[in-house]
Structure 1
Amino acid sequence: MSHVYVTHRLPGERIAELGQHCDMACWPGPGLLPADALRAAVSEADGLVCLLTDRIDAGLLASAPRLRFISSLSVGLDHVDLAAATARGIAVGHTPGVLVDATADTAFALLLAAARRIAEADAFVRAGDWRPENAWSPDFFLGRDLAGATLGLVGLGAIARAVARRAAAFGMRVVGWNRSPRDVPGVEQLPLDDVLAESDFVSVHVALAPETRGLLDGERLARLRRGAVLINTARGGIVDEVALAEALASGRLGAAGLDVYEREPLAAGSPLLSAPNTVLTPHIGSATALTRRRMADLAAANALAALRGERMPHCANPEVYG
């Protein structure tokens, strides 16, 4: 019987079904699976169900001679050496589609929170700074209007399109750029530099790849309108965090809402922690109970198909099937 290792306890019925068709072992915790434990676990595994926090590099794959498939509970696969897996003929599955609305909601929640200074106002009240002598004034915690403002989308995939629909309901003009031309109703297509220059709010929705790493560097961030708000729910590494922190500290940018970072967890010395007007969340874009169950079900479905010798429903490297 095939041996499948699961790097974290997962919700849903399909993962239990997977256990009925293989010898399945699961990391019991606490916490995330350490790298050395992962290496030991996959050394005799035929299949792996993993998370985006599990680094699946060429060295790890070399230590797993029996591995036939990887099923990741994620949309992005920047934690997997896809080229090395493909060279070995290892099918790699992922979970696209099911987290679109949850992540779009998170992006828009960050946009609203940053625009209306929600985190800053919450801290103000909790610190006891809201007192009778400063109970209200015409310039008290002034934020930014969404209605009539321009939202720029960097990338026009499914999540970006869902954000565009939300923005339209708020009366925003929406412009966007995609690496390959893509016609999206209600979104005016512009070159990337024009999107940045014309937008009051910019939301990032491209995948992390060699071509997009550092895409929003210091030079491009300088093209943003003064006081603009940047939102990133895609991947850390797309935005230059040092340049972003400097732009926020100088007042060049008005605010930022971030759910993803170059290094996760965010390093204690990150300049983002002391940057003003920031809303920081710990990579919770898809964190709803329903979405996580759907992701786990899809990851299990990919693994079940691989066990049967069938094509994965969502395979990131279909060339392994010839």
Structure 2
Amino acid sequence: MTVILAAGDHFVTNDLLRDRLRPVAPDAAFRELTLPWPVEPFGPVAEVREASGTEDQLIEALDGVDVCVTQMAPLTERILAASPALRLFCVSRGGPVNANLDAATRHGVAVTFAPGRNATATAEHTVALMLAAARRIPATHADLAGGTWRGDYYRYESVGPELAGSTVGIVGYGAIGSRVARIVRGFGARVLVADPFADAAAVAPDELVGLDELMNRSAFVTVHARAAPGTEGLISRELIGLMPAGGVLVNCARGSLVDYDAVCDALDEGRLFGAAFDVYPVEPLPADSRLPRTPGVVLTPHLAGASRQTAHNAAGMVAAEVGHHLAGRPLLHCANPEVRNR
């Protein structure tokens, strides 16, 4: 009998996982482990990053388990060595950053992931941040909630740009960036795209430009690139300096991609109108961060992908992988397909 561990958390819950797994694995035995994320932030666990729970917890829970479905559980060399029955580890995230892929491959464990599970939620959040920064929604709400009516926000120098008629530069044109493009076109914005890996057929020839040109021509710039070697500080001080005066910069991708000190300087000097961020180089934000103290910055705590549909999508995608595994069919999104090809 196949034994499946549902290692859920307080977002992709075990109830969701179990409900989606039962139809594809009716004869399986189920175990459950509830991880503390997001009540407790994720972090590094041994050699993997962005994980929740401990190696000892997983080693105990995986004893005799064939399949693990999770969002945040770590998969380390030590866990793999202690879990000889494990054959499939399904991560319900856009990338399996909480799994040691090299070690999993050596131990014969296939690792899957869930690309695009939160693409719509993140795209919608991105546009919400654009509007919040351009229209100063958090600051004006805070004033009113504190009992202050400030008419001076209506002064010309205090108002920001509209999306309609503006150029929106999208850095990274994958599942999220392409959705942002569709939404802002609906507002009447023009779109520019900088992405060396973009499908040229999916982007109009006059929209695909170099990063320097995109920064120079865009009133709004939104970042949707993946963090990879060589991308740290991709949106550098020099590139931020190319943006038109009064521009708005948004990052819902990874904190390492943007020079946040340069953004704060540009806002303090009045070169940028606003900026909005959902991700940071260090999470939670350290107490000495400049971002909360810089006027014009809108902040959310890494929750762009947080929607109920995302949680349902995540559970459904890992359940589909389990169904394929049990039926002997090819996995849909395998990060180490060489394991299945042996």
Both proteins in one fold, TM over 0.5: yes
Task: Kindly indicate whether the alpha-carbon contact (under 8 Å) linking 1:70 and 1:303 is maintained by their aligned counterparts in 2.
Answer: no
Taking a change above 3 Å as real, the CA distance of residues 263 and 64 of structure 1, as seen in their structure-2 partners, is farther
In structure 2, distance between residues paired with 1:190 and 1:297: 36
Taking a change above 3 Å as real, the CA distance of residues 226 and 143 of structure 1, as seen in their structure-2 partners, is closer
In structure 2, distance between residues paired with 1:303 and 1:247: 49
In structure 2, distance between residues paired with 1:75 and 1:48: 17
In structure 2, distance between residues paired with 1:241 and 1:180: 25
In structure 2, the partner of 1:245 is 264
Instruction: Provide the identity percentage.
Output: 35
- What residue ranges of structure 2 are gaps of 5+ in the alignment? 41-51
Residue 162 of structure 2 corresponds to residue 145 of structure 1: yes
1:307 shift after superposition: 4.1
Taking a change above 3 Å as real, the CA distance of residues 141 and 129 of structure 1, as seen in their structure-2 partners, is farther
Matched AA of 1:202:
V
Return 275-284 or 55-64, whichever deviates more: 55-64
SS of the aligned residue for 1:27 comes to: strand
In structure 2, the partner of 1:224 is 243
1:107 shift after superposition: 1.0
Superposition TM-score, scaled by structure 2 size: 0.81
In structure 2, distance between residues paired with 1:81 and 1:172: 42
In structure 2, the partner of 1:15 is 21
In structure 2, the partner of 1:283 is 302
Computed over aligned residues only, the root mean square deviation of the Cα atoms, in angstroms, reads: 2.8
1:234 shift after superposition: 1.8
Equivalent residues in 2 for 1:39-188 (5 A)? 39-41=58-60, 44=63, 45-51=65-71, 53-130=72-149, 134=151, 137-139=154-156, 141-183=158-200, 184-186=202-204, 188=207
Residue 218 of structure 2 corresponds to residue 212 of structure 1: no
Matched AA of 2:98:
H
Superposition TM-score, scaled by structure 1 size: 0.86
Task: Kindly indicate whether the alpha-carbon contact (under 8 Å) linking 1:121 and 1:141 is maintained by their aligned counterparts in 2.
Answer: no
In structure 1, distance between residues paired with 2:128 and 2:171: 17
1:177 shift after superposition: 1.0
1:297 shift after superposition: 0.9
Taking a change above 3 Å as real, the CA distance of residues 178 and 84 of structure 1, as seen in their structure-2 partners, is farther
- What residue ranges of structure 1 are gaps of 5+ in the alignment? none
Provide Cα deviations, 1:154-202, integer angstroms capped at 9, x if missing partner: 0111221111111112121111111225223456111111111211111
1:98 shift after superposition: 4.0
Taking a change above 3 Å as real, the CA distance of residues 136 and 38 of structure 1, as seen in their structure-2 partners, is same
In structure 1, distance between residues paired with 2:243 and 2:60: 47
1:203 shift after superposition: 0.9
In structure 1, distance between residues paired with 2:187 and 2:76: 43
In structure 2, the partner of 1:189 is 208
Taking a change above 3 Å as real, the CA distance of residues 305 and 202 of structure 1, as seen in their structure-2 partners, is same
